[in-house]
């Protein structure tokens, strides 16, 4: 994918989250079942890095569980971070950073035992950028650390497939994006657009191989039928 096209896709998502931070947060007042399952076994003292922390639902869930370990949440959207800072987790720290960029300055408490990235990877355009992201995560984990992430499988829902809009809507041709790339509309609190990548299983296998992760577990959850989210647990060991 050409760098200019990738930047345009990132800009689409930045503009979406800045414009729809409040209505988006309204739809995320509780953790998705798969995310709740993912943090259920977190040791209370574990250091946690929450990438794409949004409005802080993971931090709130950890607060309810009396989590004692270090926690750092990172997101690009200031409006969502403002909500996250009211999470109630006393030791929580939050950082504004662009997860699509290389290097995230200002990180505290590395290495981490767990890195979480719920609904982040499918918003990063291009296999190279996704590999750079995963490699950065691995570099922040301790030797036995786990990378737990989810990808949105919107393509399993007929209702969501109807929300796919043509690339020409934003002046991009089909040939300029990668297979699996889609533009979806948003209909809560106004009309917006988001870039999303639909993964093939082989892409995830190659991503793990390239970045030195060892897949440990995969499970499906969320939405009607329990398959809108694919959750991956990868070991840095």
- Mean pLDDT, the chain, as a whole number? 91
Looking at domain 3-153+200-235, does it have CATH number 3.40.50.150?
yes
Residue 24 has pLDDT above 80, yes or no: no
Place of tokens 């996250």: 84
SS3 of the chain: the string is: CCHHHHHHHHHHHHHHHHHCHHHHHHCCCCCCHHHHHHHHCCCCCCCEEEECCCCCHHHHHHHHCCCCCCEEEEECCHHHHHHHCCCCCCCEEEEECCCCCCCCCCCCCCCEEEEEEECCHHHCCCHHHHHHHHHHHHHHEEEEEEEEEEEECHHHCHHHHCCEECHHHHCCCHHHCCCCEEEEEECCCCCEEEEEECCCHHHHHHHHHHHCCEEEEEEEECCCCCCCEEEEEEECC
193-237 tens-digit pLDDT: 999 999 999 999 999 999 999 999 999 999 888 999 999 999 998
Instruction: Give residue limits of the domains in the chain.
Output: 3-153+200-235
pLDDT tens-digit profile of 44-96? 999 999 999 988 999 999 999 999 999 999 998 888 898 898 888 888 999 99
pLDDT greater than 70 at residue 29: no
**Helices 127-140 and 201-211, packing angle to 10 deg:** 50
pLDDT score for 147 = 98
Rounded Cα gap, residues 154 and 228, in angstroms = 6
Residue 25 has pLDDT above 70, yes or no: no
Does residue 102 register a pLDDT over 80? no
Asked if residue 19 lies in contact with residue 144, where contact means CB atoms within 8 angstroms, the answer is no
């Amino acid at each position: 994918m050409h760098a200019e096209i990738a930047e345009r896709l990132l800009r689409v998502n930045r503009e979406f989250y800045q414009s729809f931070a409040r209505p988006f947060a309204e739809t995320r007042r509780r953790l998705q079942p798969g995310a709740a399952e993912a943090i259920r076994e977190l040791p209370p003292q574990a250091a946690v890095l929450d990438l794409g922390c949004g409005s802080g639902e993971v931090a709130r869930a950890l607060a309810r569980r009396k989590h004692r370990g270090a926690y750092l949440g990172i997101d690009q959207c200031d409006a969502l971070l403002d909500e996250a800072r009211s999470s109630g987790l006393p030791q929580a720290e939050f950082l504004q950073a662009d997860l699509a960029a290389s290097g995230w300055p200002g990180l505290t408490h590395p290495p981490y035992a767990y890195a979480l990235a719920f609904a982040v990877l499918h918003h990063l355009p291009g296999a190279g950028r996704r590999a750079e992201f995963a490699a950065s995560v691995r570099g922040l984990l301790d030797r036995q650390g786990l990378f737990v992430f989810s990808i949105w499988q919107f393509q399993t829902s007929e209702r969501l497939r109807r929300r796919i809009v043509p690339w020409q809507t934003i002046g991009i041709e089909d040939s300029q994006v990668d297979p699996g790339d889609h533009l979806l509309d948003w209909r809560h609190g106004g009309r917006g657009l988001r870039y999303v990548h639909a993964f093939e299983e082989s892409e995830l296998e190659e991503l793990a191989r390239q970045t030195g992760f060892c897949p440990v577990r995969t499970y499906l959850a969320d939405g009607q039928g329990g398959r809108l989210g694919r959750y991956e647990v990868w070991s840095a060991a």
